[in-house]
Amino acid sequence: MKFFLFNRLIVAGLLAVLQVSAQNVATTWNSIAAKTIAQSGNKDFVAPGVWFAYVSIAVYDAVNAVHHHQFEPFYYTGRGPGGASDEAAAAAAAHRVLVYYFPAQEQDLDARFINSLSSILADATAKAQGVAVGEAAADALISERAGDGLQADVPYTPGNGPGAWQPTPPLFLPPATPWLGQMRPFTMTIARQFLPTGPTALSSEEWVTNYNVTRLFGDANSSIRTPGESEVGLFWTENAAQQYSRAFGYLSQYYKLDLLSSSRLLAVLWTGFADAGIACWNAKYTYGFWRPITAIRAGGSNPELAADTDWTSFSTTPNHPEYPAGHTCLAAVLSSLVQRFFASAKVHVTVDSLAFSDGVHTHTFEDTKDWLNEVYWARIFTGAHFPRSLEDGATIGKQVADQLFRNHFQPKERD
């Protein structure tokens, strides 16, 4: 895969209020899920996608059941009675899944559920029937995912010597969520189905090039990184699950998708997010490759390279192995799935970031390739990754997307 440096003149603005059409129940509960997951204290940037996938699959199955399976069901194969409220089904599915996985927030979720039902324009019978379908879809999801490895105790001991990941400054945190790479995936056959070939050999010329690209662009005091490139790097340092949860809502609202289409879009994207995260984390903890801040301070274990003991990455290095890059795993799977969902790469995608002290910055893309390209370079600009890791991460994401969209969430053949 080849990436090209994008135009350096990127305009970042403040976002006070995004003017979009009103949310539907699926996007509303996507926002509620984001708040619930964030309040749970789970701050790792990829692992929260698993809980988003749980919610979105249950909502999709519930709404699809009310619409008599216009698309292939994922877990729940029951059908809703004629006249059942699809909105009530969506709200009930999301509510039940969130309460199950986050019982400490049940009181708040119950209040939100009551408010959601009260705003639905349907009679009591239709609402009750919809709630029953939604709860059945949620129960199917919960049953199917039992014992899937969520937050399992998976130990990981860092290696030693050249190329081995070690906890990084300034906090030297332990490795984050190694359990994610051992989870039972949603659409892959096994977590390591798309395991890449591994990081660049330290003796190779490719390694020398990779090392120097990140050393020069990703240094906290880089003399070649422009202010625009610094903004791009920082833009993508927000918690990815929270950042993308807003972007998915904006996408649905911009294209004025109805409830069935919105629930399908969210299920496609969050399932892809979760499986790309599982595949990426499996590879990270399989190879355990060192981060730039460790490699560059040590001289890269190559006679053509020199150690820079004072080198510091532009943003704080995440506390998990470097290879492959999680951000391109995600950007590739999501941009690929958006392209497939809308049957075009020319899709209007809005992403905002809360990573800045001067307000919310917003980036807009009109082509999914530009989105992936920006994420690729962002992780070099922050000093978090080497190019090979970003390329192989993108390959994983594309492989997950290809298989997922080919085999799941497709129109159902009529009986």
Higher pLDDT, 9 or 167: 167
Band (pLDDT 50/70/90 cuts) for residue 7 is very low
Q: Is the pLDDT of residue 415 over 90?
A: no
Q: Is the pLDDT of residue 9 over 70?
A: no
Q: How, if at all, do strands 361-365 and 349-353 pair? A: antiparallel
Q: Is the pLDDT of residue 16 over 60?
A: no
Q: What is the mean pLDDT of residues 226-237?
A: 98
Residue 45 is predicted with a pLDDT of 83
CATH number of 91's domain: 1.10.606.20
Band (pLDDT 50/70/90 cuts) for residue 6 is very low
Residue 183 lies in a domain: yes
Band (pLDDT 50/70/90 cuts) for residue 1 is very low
Residue 23 is predicted with a pLDDT of 74
pTM: 0.94
Residue 15 lies in a domain: no
Q: How many domains does the chain have?
A: 1
Q: Residues 314-365: pLDDT tens digits?
A: 999 999 999 999 999 999 999 999 999 999 999 999 999 999 999 999 999 9
Residue 120 lies in a domain: yes
3-state SS, 330-355, equals HHHHHHHHHHHHHCCCCCCEEEEECC
In contact, 210 and 204? CB cutoff 8 Å: no
Q: What is the mean pLDDT of residues 233-255?
A: 97
Instruction: With H, G, I as helix, E, B as strand and everything else as coil, classify residue 71.
Output: strand
DSSP assignment of 193-248: TT----SPPTTSHHHHHHHHHHHHHSBTT-SS--HHHHHHHHHTTS-HHHHHHHHH
Residue 414 lies in a domain: no
Residue 201 is predicted with a pLDDT of 98
Band (pLDDT 50/70/90 cuts) for residue 43 is low
Residue 80 is predicted with a pLDDT of 93
Cα separations in angstroms, 318 against 12, 43, 172: 24, 12, 10
Q: Is the pLDDT of residue 22 over 60?
A: no
Residue 150 lies in a domain: yes
Percent of the chain scoring above 70 in pLDDT: 94
Band (pLDDT 50/70/90 cuts) for residue 41 is confident
Percent of the chain scoring above 90 in pLDDT: 92
Residues paired with residue 13 on neighbouring β-strands, in sequence order: 362
Residue 199 lies in a domain: yes
What is the DSSP-derived secondary structure letter of residue 18? -
* CA 45 – CA 284 distance, rounded (Å): 15
Considering only CA atoms, which of 88, 89, 70, 97 is closest in space to residue 270? 97
Task: Name the token pair of 148.
Answer: 């899937």
Band (pLDDT 50/70/90 cuts) for residue 108 is very high
Higher pLDDT, 271 or 40: 271
Q: Residues 254-305: pLDDT tens digits?
A: 999 999 999 999 999 999 999 999 999 999 999 999 999 999 999 999 999 9
Residue 161 lies in a domain: yes
* CA 183 – CA 186 distance, rounded (Å): 9
DSSP assignment of 257-271: --HHHHHHHHHHHHH
- Residue 26: count of CB within 10 angstroms of its CB: 33
Residue 5 is predicted with a pLDDT of 35
Residue 406 is predicted with a pLDDT of 97
Expressed as residue numbers, the domain containing 354 is: 20-407
Q: Is the pLDDT of residue 10 over 50?
A: no
Q: Residues 127-136: pLDDT tens digits?
A: 999 999 999 9
Residues paired with residue 411 on neighbouring β-strands, in sequence order: 71
Q: Cα 359 vs. chain centroid, distance in angstroms?
A: 23
Q: What is the mean pLDDT of residues 198-208?
A: 98
CA torsion angle for 246, 251, 256, 260 (degrees, to 10)?
Answer: -80
Residue 25 is predicted with a pLDDT of 97
Task: Name the token pair of 44.
Answer: 């790792």
Residue 295 lies in a domain: yes
Q: What is the mean pLDDT of residues 73-97?
A: 97
